[in-house]
Amino acid sequence: MAVTQEPGHSLDQVGLHNVARVYWNPTTSHLYEEVIKRREGWISHLGPIVVRTGSHTGRSPEDKFIVKDGVSADHVWWGPENRPFDPALFESIHRKMSAYLQNKDIFVQDCHVGANPAYRVPVRVITESAWHSLFARNLFRQIHDPGERVEHVPEFTVINVPRFHALPEIDGTHSEAFILISFEKKLVLIGGTSYAGEIKKSIFTLMHYILPPRNVLSMHCSCNVGQQGDAALFFGLSGTGKTTLSADAKRRLIGDDEHGWGPDGVFNFEGGCYAKVIRLSPEAEPDIYETTRRFGTILENVGFDLDVRRVDLDDDTLTENTRAAYPVSHIPNALRSGVADHPRNIIFLTADAFGVLPPISQLSVDQARYHFLNGYTAKVAGTERGVNEPQATFSACFGSPFLALPPTVYSRLLGELVVRHDVRCWLVNTGWTGGPYGTGERISIAHTRALVDAALTGKLDDVSYREEPFFGLRIPDRCPDVPREVLDPQSTWSDKVSYQKQAKELAHRFDENYKRFEGEE
């Protein structure tokens, strides 16, 4: 049983007083007991916890704010991703949350963000529900040594209270939900939403603010490492295959989502994974599939039969954004240290629904920075309300909602690191070929895996390349286990004129989007 007071620790410094019982660093088993006792979820077949997040089944970007004060005013990338919030209103909401929590039980997890001790950030996550505490325990790096936990001094604290709702007309928020970050107070306040990803991504925003001034690139990417110690980074937006392609049986997984790259190499921020599991295939993604059948995993909004206690990963009744949160140790070939040498390869993933980008192409350093800043993929019909045809989507650094500083800060760091460590950069299209979405077909996952494997193992080093005319991309003329005609997107189209028109149009959209950054380069 968790103790009600960790020796030497107090919650007074974050304004929490007169709470009922405090569960300090409860174990996974204890949290399971509390989840069931408090009726927060169900235990499904083979042991995962199944939970529901109510009306919020994904992030609420319009509800995220950063307190604009003397610390943040001149540094934060202000705009739609980072809306300013008044310090006085932040203090008011903090007081109201503290009053709400009086005489209520709360859960505390002390943990680290960052596997490299030189750059890790000690954090404390305070929640009103047991399953959110389990989420924090799964996703961040646990402190197993009791003596180290006693000495733990958090640099940042997250207070997550889903059942506390704001009054927008009084509290200055966009809705009843809010995610408020104060770099001066080193405090994050989350309320009105049960979606656990807000905890994870608010911490990610903190790392994006803290690390670049220390000459460490914070990255929204997955990472794995080969038998020769050759690390690879996979950047990509949702639906491009970032988690799937980094879970490679022939390589050790470092992490699936958030990493830093500094003087000593790359390191995982987290101790777990938060994978999208809708229609997960046991054949195509066996390791991730098995995590949905493991004790300790949290399944968010996954289809669930109450009678037989079995889940249905194909059920999208509640949302397409069904999620599994599990410790990285659930992946058999994960490298628990979470650190690796400097990457040998960087892969930018895009799901091009217009069907014009090559399945793989090699990038120069300037092209790498260009595609990094654009962060392109495409939405297809049916993925969002109102999307009836492919739409180009650009997200700076493949993660603009989480960037605290201007994108060019991260782009410059990337370029410097790529040059210093002679890193090969690739653009991989996991989207459509032979025509746009609705006409062409999705590129075979088997072909994509073969292309990625060839890039990482050096099989594309000694082949000849040709330059395609619209983006200036260098396309290899052959690749093991991939038909030659697949490598050239134009050859897969029956209507070559339509291909050229689509390619010119997409290239123009790239250039127009890039103009936002030209004055800052």
First to last CA, the chain: 55
Q: Which long-range contacts (CB under 8 A, 24 or more apart) does 504-512 make?
A: 504/470, 505/354, 506/352, 506/354, 506/356, 506/357, 506/392, 506/470, 507/470, 507/471, 509/392, 510/370, 510/374, 510/376, 510/471
430, 414 Cβ separation under 8 angstroms: no
381, 437 Cβ separation under 8 angstroms: yes
394, 517 Cβ separation under 8 angstroms: no
d(CA 30, CA 108): 13
Task: Using alpha carbons, select from 220, 197, 267, 484 the residue that is nearest to residue 372.
Answer: 220
Residues 6+ apart with CB under 8 A from 161: 97, 100, 101, 127, 128, 189, 190, 191
Q: Side-chain half-sphere of 425: how many Cα atoms within 13 Å?
A: 20
d(CA 369, CA 383): 28
Task: Using alpha carbons, select from 290, 291, 287 the residue that is nearest to residue 251.
Answer: 287
Element (H, E) at 182: strand 178-182
58, 383 Cβ separation under 8 angstroms: no
Residues 6+ apart with CB under 8 A from 335: 225, 252, 253, 254
* Residues with a known catalytic role: 59, 201, 220, 238, 242-243, 257, 323
